[in-house]
Homo-oligomer: A and B are copies of this chain.
């Protein structure tokens, strides 16, 4: 079989860095949320762009599906090997290649993780802001157009990537842009690969924008009598132009879970986690304005994180909140929804969603990057129970319908993967055909992460195998 030929050829190339071990294959066949396990036939651990090129060529020539893999922390089934094939693990390509503090940029290999980068550049006075919950790889974050708690102030991966080096499905290696801060040099291929979910090529280098660590950083936690009031206060703050750096909503269910998981004793009430960045004076001013708004909306006192250590503990708890949710029910999986709507519709969208949830039988904590209009429900469910899956599916579907009717999107930051292909069509219609055309232009035999983001049938050379 062609696939066996591919595995043999890759083995000749990288020796025992090609693994056939069941445990390794299984580890590469699932992500952090509910999508079913689909293990690859082999896992190739690449250490250089040259190796990636060679493996891409082998897979194309043999019609073997190739699935790029960073840390496996995505959540929409991006890395499942649903058509078999080889998982290309780039976690060993983990070097920071260059840091240019004067230019506020750096270039990294795709296996570098976000925390590793921030530790590496700490002495420069700079930081990299994009922070999904997991300590994800920057290659994976680029490929899924990730964001996180800092997006309201610093944007998402779309705004943070200056350039990428990509191995295309035909084996060419291209770099999409220079290091200039702005450019009008041709089609914006950088942004085409940011969020391409592994279907257009393998990202092998990323040049990222960095930001100065602010002179002053203050973080606080504040409780509200209702989700409505918490959300309204954020909407007012954003509309008043307060340049808040982070503002995260956790509902009463999630707060209870976070208290239990991370050892806090905050009230189990709708809560905002906030952070203010700037000069000392400007942070004081932002806090003053925010306190007035919070008071108007019935919010409680600001509970300050007293120092950097306490602040880090606070944000780690926020980042761990999905794991806190998981701890609510033993042996269960998470199913995260991920809609984003224009800010003016957020309060209404969340209210309707909570009304819908009243009859829900599953734990479903709610979590929001409310400054961006983006929020999640995290269902904690037994994946062997069809009724529970059906129930979560129903809520997810209604939530997306609601968001689309409000001119929002079916995914603010998780991506399409396996889980949202039909919703992508609901959202963008014929535009998805154009995505399909572009995909098939660069990958005519559809061997690069087939079956993700776009339905393309038949999977030609895989079918021919």
Contacts and interface: CB of A to CB of B under 8 A. Distances in A.
A407 B344 contact: no
Nearest to A176: B431
A21 interface: no
B187 A196 contact: yes
Contacts of A408: 178-180
A436 to B, nearest CB: 9
A185 interface: yes
B430 A180 contact: no
A374 interface: yes
Nearest to A212: B241
A437 B430 contact: no
Contacts of A168: 434
Interface string A453-465: 1100000000000
Given A343-B102, A344-B102, A431-B189, A144 B184 contact: yes
A166 to B, nearest CB: 9
Interface in A369-423: 372-374, 403-404, 407-416, 420
Interface string A21-34: 00000000000000
A215 B340 CA distance: 29
Q: How many copies does the complex hold?
A: 2
B342 A180 contact: yes
A105 B342 contact: yes
A411 B183 contact: yes
Given A102-B235, A158-B188, A185-B420, 7 more contacts: A182-B374, A185-B428, A186-B432, A187-B192, A188-B191, A192-B192, A281-B282
Nearest to A178: B409
Given A181-B373, A342-B181, A434-B189, A175 B102 contact: no
A297 interface: no
Residue from A180, A196, A214 whose CB has the most chain B CB atoms within 10 Å: A180
Interface string A335-368: 0001011111000000000000000000000000
Contacts of A192: 187-188, 191-192
Interface of A: 100, 102-105, 144-147, 151, 156, 158-159, 168, 172-192, 194-196, 200, 212, 214-215, 235, 239-241, 278-279, 281-282, 285, 338, 340-344, 372-374, 403-404, 407-416, 420, 424, 427-435, 437-439, 441-442, 453-454
Contacts of A428: 174-177, 185-186
Nearest to A188: B191
B184 A411 contact: yes
B431 A184 contact: no
B188 A103 contact: no
B442 A180 contact: no
Contacts of A156: 182
A175 B429 CA distance: 9
A442 B184 CA distance: 20
5 contacts: A180-B373, A187-B435, A188-B192, A189-B434, A191-B192
